[in-house]
């Protein structure tokens, strides 16, 4: 049997009921976290533009738009071994399709989310996503059509043969190296939305009898089409025996994941007694693959630069810690004290941290203050699999993010909808409806 047929068998037949309760609980947290991102993402200026610019009349486009809105927030989850952000694609796609089909069966919806999440992360691992990201290939974007097609096939009850063709068509829609995004509205989120839409359409085409190449992954296609030396065994090894959920991380605040460990390290040193106003200089040591990325400096008019920049994130951690939960970053360049602190920060590559990468994104921070040197290394950051956010921590994150966004309702109440949404039909319908409401307005931020 071909690789694609193996994936199709999994996509059609895998059920979350086969997973241990601990893994299903992790899935529920990631669904709740994604619902939070959908609600707050719809409120930001960039999120509003995404909702207007991206088409949404067809359900494929609506799913893509919702994924784009979630992803731009930078509070969504991540699978560090593949450097993919699975739930930003899989949760909105499954919930949008369930809404369109009037489906509120929690097993069907949860299984579709798992199927997409599993295939997206596995393809990311197969192409060595944690390293090729820094060559300009965005692994989430690369794998999004495959994941979306698998979800659409499962929600739409396609046969195994139809699903295999859908997956093949979706893979042919994958894109390689992206360029440097410019303009008033960054194109990064836009093209991700388009990739998700393309995957859904691949499944819709397969339902109508459109065929692909079922041997696509059994030869050198990935090498020939994308110059990737893929480990195809990673796609199918022990597929369906346990899940990728035990390897996923939740972000504790708004940040590029690569900067989270350094931010936590500085906060720990400050909490242990190093006064922020006494700090003269900070050196951030990280694995070489992403040192250049987080060495980015904050730029006026570039929201993403303040989220990627380790220097700016450390400035917030030292001076305005509550603003780490600010998704909008509208007044970022007016934070004079934060910017002054950021100028004290230097990011350097450190090969001694490579053994922990990409299972985690570690950092070591050296702080010079009053002539003394203080060091803190964080390998597994808060939110990583070995230090997970529990339900209460997730609710606290939501409340802080809602407060920064000016919301008038409790963020924790939204998390409760997400946590309950895959347990019974009534709760599943509430989850599906809440996700759809988030895509049409910012009302989930405000008391009704």
Domain boundary among 327, 349, 378: 378
Choose the weakest-confidence range: 350-359, 418-427, 433-442.
Answer: 433-442
CA distance 39 to 47: 10
- Per-residue pLDDT, averaged over 269-276, amounts to 97
**Is position 409 within any domain?**
no
**Is position 445 within any domain?**
no
363's enclosing H/E stretch is strand 363-369
Same domain, 372 and 419: no
Number of domains into which the chain is organized = 2
The pLDDT > 70 percentage for the chain reads: 98
Domain boundary among 378, 406, 426: 378
Domain boundary among 331, 362, 378: 378
Same domain, 323 and 426: no
CATH number of residue 58's parent domain: 1.10.4100.10
Same domain, 172 and 224: yes
**Is position 398 within any domain?**
no
Same domain, 231 and 298: no
The pLDDT > 90 percentage for the chain reads: 84
227-240 burial code (b ≥16 CB/10 A, e <16): ebebeeebbbeebb
**Is position 406 within any domain?**
no
Q: Fill in the DSSP letter of residue 86.
A: H
CA distance 403 to 283: 31
CATH number of residue 281's parent domain: 3.30.1330.120
Whether the predicted pLDDT of 167 surpasses 80 = yes
**Contact (CB, 8 A) for 284 and 345:** yes
Report the Cα 221 to chain-centroid distance in Å: 27
Same domain, 273 and 191: no
pLDDT for res 445: 65
Angle at 5 between CA 4 and CA 8, to 5 degrees: 90
- Per-residue pLDDT, averaged over 157-166, amounts to 98
**Is position 34 within any domain?**
yes
Q: For residue range 357-372, what is the model confidence (pLDDT) as tens digits?
A: 999 999 999 999 999 9
Whether the predicted pLDDT of 175 surpasses 90 = no
**Quick one: which of 303, 56, 287, 336 has its CA closest to 295?**
287
Tokens of 158: 């396609």
pLDDT for res 448: 55
pLDDT for res 182: 66
**Contact (CB, 8 A) for 31 and 420:** no
pLDDT for res 229: 87
Same domain, 332 and 420: no
Q: Is 164 left (phi over 0), alpha (psi -120 to 50) or beta?
A: alpha
Same domain, 200 and 236: yes
Same domain, 23 and 171: yes
Give the number of other CB atoms < 10 A from CB of residue 21.
7
**Is position 386 within any domain?**
no
Whether the predicted pLDDT of 403 surpasses 60 = yes
pLDDT for res 386: 97
Answering whether pTM is above 0.85, one says yes
Angle at 149 between CA 144 and CA 73, to 5 degrees: 35
CA distance 60 to 218: 29
Q: Fill in the DSSP letter of residue 408.
A: S
Q: pLDDT tier at 41 (50, 70, 90 boundaries)?
A: very high
Same domain, 144 and 277: no
Q: What is the CA radius of gyration of the chain?
A: 21
Same domain, 146 and 76: yes
**Is position 397 within any domain?**
no
Higher pLDDT, 137 or 349: 349
pLDDT for res 364: 98
Same domain, 191 and 282: no
**Is position 446 within any domain?**
no
Q: What share of the chain is helix, strand, coil (3-state, %, to 5)?
A: 60, 5, 30
Same domain, 163 and 270: no
Q: Is 132 left (phi over 0), alpha (psi -120 to 50) or beta?
A: alpha
| Domain enclosing residue 307, as ranges | 257-378
Whether the predicted pLDDT of 375 surpasses 90 = yes
Q: For residue range 179-229, what is the model confidence (pLDDT) as tens digits?
A: 776 666 778 899 999 999 999 999 999 999 999 999 999 988 888 888 888
């Amino acid at each position: 049997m071909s690789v694609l047929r193996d994936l199709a068998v999994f996509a059609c037949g895998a059920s979350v009921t086969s997973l241990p309760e601990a893994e299903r609980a992790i899935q529920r947290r990631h669904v709740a976290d994604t619902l939070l991102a959908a609600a707050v993402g719809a409120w930001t200026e960039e999120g509003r533009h995404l909702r207007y610019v991206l088409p949404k009349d067809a359900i494929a486009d609506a799913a893509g738009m919702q994924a784009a809105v979630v992803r731009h927030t930078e509070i969504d989850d991540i699978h560090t071994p593949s450097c993919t952000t699975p739930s930003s694609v899989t949760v909105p796609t499954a919930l949008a399709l369930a809404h369109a089909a009037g489906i509120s069966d929690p097993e069907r919806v949860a299984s579709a989310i798992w199927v997409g999440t599993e295939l997206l992360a596995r393809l990311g691992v197969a192409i060595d996503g944690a390293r090729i990201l820094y060559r300009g290939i965005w692994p989430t974007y690369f794998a999004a059509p495959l994941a979306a097609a698998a979800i659409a096939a499962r929600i739409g009850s396609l046969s195994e043969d139809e699903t295999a063709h859908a997956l093949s068509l979706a893979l042919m829609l994958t894109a390689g190296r992206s360029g440097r995004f410019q303009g008033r509205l960054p194109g990064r989120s836009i093209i991700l939305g388009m990739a998700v839409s393309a995957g859904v359409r691949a499944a819709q085409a397969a339902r109508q009898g459109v065929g692909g190449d079922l041997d696509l992954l059994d030869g050198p296609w990935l090498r020939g089409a994308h110059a990737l030396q893929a480990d195809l065994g990673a796609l199918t090894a022990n597929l369906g025996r346990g899940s990728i959920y035990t390897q996923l991380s939740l972000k504790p605040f708004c940040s590029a994941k690569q900067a989270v460990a350094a931010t936590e390290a500085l906060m720990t040193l400050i909490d242990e007694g190093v006064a922020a106003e006494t700090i003269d200089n900070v050196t951030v040591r990280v694995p070489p693959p992403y040192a250049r990325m987080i060495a980015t400096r904050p730029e006026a008019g570039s929201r993403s630069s303040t989220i990627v920049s380790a220097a700016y994130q450390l400035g917030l951690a030292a001076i305005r810690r509550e603003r780490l939960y600010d998704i909008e970053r509208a007044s970022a360049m007016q934070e004079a004290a934060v910017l002054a602190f950021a100028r004290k920060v230097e990011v350097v590559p450190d090969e001694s941290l490579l053994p922990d990468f990409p299972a985690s994104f570690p950092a070591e921070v050296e702080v010079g203050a009053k002539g003394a040197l203080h060091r803190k290394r964080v390998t597994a950051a808060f939110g990583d699999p070995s230090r997970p956010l529990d339900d209460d921590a997730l609710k606290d994150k939501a409340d802080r993010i809602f407060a920064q966004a000016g919301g008038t309702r409790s963020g924790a109440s939204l998390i409760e909808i997400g946590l309950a949404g895959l347990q019974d039909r009534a709760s599943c319908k509430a989850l599906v409806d809440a996700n759809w409401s988030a895509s049409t307005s910012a009302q989930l931020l405000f008391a009704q």
